[in-house]
Amino acid sequence: MYKINENYLKLQDNYLFSTIAKKLEEYKSKNPDKEIIKMGIGDVTRPISPSIIEAMHKAVDEMKNKDTFRGYGPEQGYSFLREKISKCDYKARGINIEEDEIFVSDGAKCDVANILDILGNENKVAITDPVYPVYLDTNVMIGTAGNFNKEKGTYDNIVYVPIKAENNFVPELPKEKVNIIYLCLPNNPTGTVLNKEELKRWVDYAKDNEALILFDSAYERYITEANIPHSIYEISGAKEVAIEFRSFSKTAGFTGIRCAYTVVPKELKAKTSSGEYVLLNKLWNRRMSTKFNGVSYITQRAAESVYSESGQREIKENIDYYMENAKIIREGLKKSGFVVYGGINAPYIWLKVPEGLTSWEFFDKLLEKKQIVGTPGVGFGPSGEGYFRLTAFGTRENTIKAMERISINTQELK
């Protein structure tokens, strides 16, 4: 009999979104006349802006002409896009990232998962808790996570680094030695960030311990405050210890179009078991050339147009729209007596559920009493218990309406 990767059997069913959907359906069937406001979604809702649509149309037209038709493209991405990324996302910020350190892909989710191809399964991995669930599950899949401990709700071989109100959402350096660290900043789900000094401590830790930081900055465009790093490479020495993942999904509304990129600096060197140094850039390049066909030409032209003057203006308008929603949610919740975090540098608002309630109990109350759907914090990791995520990706009208509903008879939620 053939064998399967039995690590997959160690994955915990992610009941989070299916349970939410089930509860919602049940509620709807019992209350067909009630209007429900969805604030649980982590997907953008604003349509693609005109400059991007125009660039795509133009690229489609090129495909019908024999002189401009494109077949297989470079697996690492077209130079026209990598050059723009290097110039606008890095060099403009004083960071020297070259074109050949940038790898264009169809998603940060895929890259965050696929990077484990070149890292293998013998690392001690640290993951902040709560966090985007893909980091944990992909480590379970390759066997680094160990067994699941039902009582604790954690995997035996993963080092969980809590981020919660008690530590001001600043993760403490692990007490035990780890060699891979996932950092998601601005954070999904908490919406919180680290300043340069706080992030530097992690870069220094990685240097001192020969560890690698996997830095997911999918939400960097949502940062509004100064002194919050958009890229880990703003911290000196980070090019020797960090890979950075970025995406056009939340930046430019590409969740359906699909385009992202990963930066693997040439300073990154890993040591083999026989003590030789190898460049991670070379390994990732090989991995992409072998297992990936590149992102479509049309999509890359769309991504390129994001960097045009009009493209930048248009994506900013959309981000500003979401961030105004975030402000309305933050202020609305505060006025109603809730303790809130995030929402200033990210489209996520993380609220403390009222004393004595679990995050799922709060979910039920919010649905039943206010017809609002959000996401229970515990679904993002054990330290998310007692918290709840609302997203700013809805319409302005619904965001305002939701805060009004919460402000009237707020005690029903406590």
Residues that bind ligand PLP (CB under 6 A): 42, 107-109, 132, 184, 188, 216, 218, 247, 249, 255, 260
Contact predicate 223/381, CB 8 Å: no
Work out how close the CB of 129 gets to ligand PLP at its nearest, in angstroms, rounded to a whole number: 14
Contacts of 235 (CB under 8 A, 6+ apart): 196, 199, 200, 203, 229
Work out how close the CB of 221 gets to ligand PLP at its nearest, in angstroms, rounded to a whole number: 13
d(CA 324, CA 330): 10
Work out how close the CB of 114 gets to ligand PLP at its nearest, in angstroms, rounded to a whole number: 11
E strand spans, 201-359: 212-216, 242-247, 260-263, 269-271, 277-279, 340-342, 348-352
Q: Which two tokens stand for residue 222?
A: 């949502």
Comparing CA positions, the residue from 118, 158, 153, 152 lying closest to residue 135 is 158
Q: What single DSSP character describes residue 86?
A: I
Q: Which CB atom, from 41 or from 357, has the smaller least distance to ligand PLP?
A: 41
Q: Which CB atom, from 215 or from 413, has the smaller least distance to ligand PLP?
A: 215
Q: Which CB atom, from 88 or from 134, has the smaller least distance to ligand PLP?
A: 134
Q: Which CB atom, from 49 or from 138, has the smaller least distance to ligand PLP?
A: 138
Work out how close the CB of 216 gets to ligand PLP at its nearest, in angstroms, rounded to a whole number: 5
Contact predicate 181/212, CB 8 Å: yes
Comparing CA positions, the residue from 359, 346, 345, 338 lying closest to residue 403 is 338
Q: Which CB atom, from 109 or from 164, has the smaller least distance to ligand PLP?
A: 109
Work out how close the CB of 348 gets to ligand PLP at its nearest, in angstroms, rounded to a whole number: 9
Letter for the amino acid at 282?
K
Work out how close the CB of 246 gets to ligand PLP at its nearest, in angstroms, rounded to a whole number: 8
Q: Which CB atom, from 42 or from 382, has the smaller least distance to ligand PLP?
A: 42
Work out how close the CB of 262 gets to ligand PLP at its nearest, in angstroms, rounded to a whole number: 10
Burial of 107 (0-12, 13-18, 19+ CB in 10 A): buried
- Coil, helix or strand at residue 68: coil
d(CA 97, CA 228): 19
Burial 336-353 (b: 16+ CB within 10 A, else e): bebebbbbbbbbbbbbbb
Residue at shortest CB range from ligand PLP: 107
Q: Which CB atom, from 305 or from 336, has the smaller least distance to ligand PLP?
A: 305
Work out how close the CB of 113 gets to ligand PLP at its nearest, in angstroms, rounded to a whole number: 9
Letter for the amino acid at 398?
N
Contact predicate 331/323, CB 8 Å: no
Q: Which CB atom, from 260 or from 328, has the smaller least distance to ligand PLP?
A: 260
Work out how close the CB of 413 gets to ligand PLP at its nearest, in angstroms, rounded to a whole number: 26
Q: Which CB atom, from 131 or from 178, has the smaller least distance to ligand PLP?
A: 131
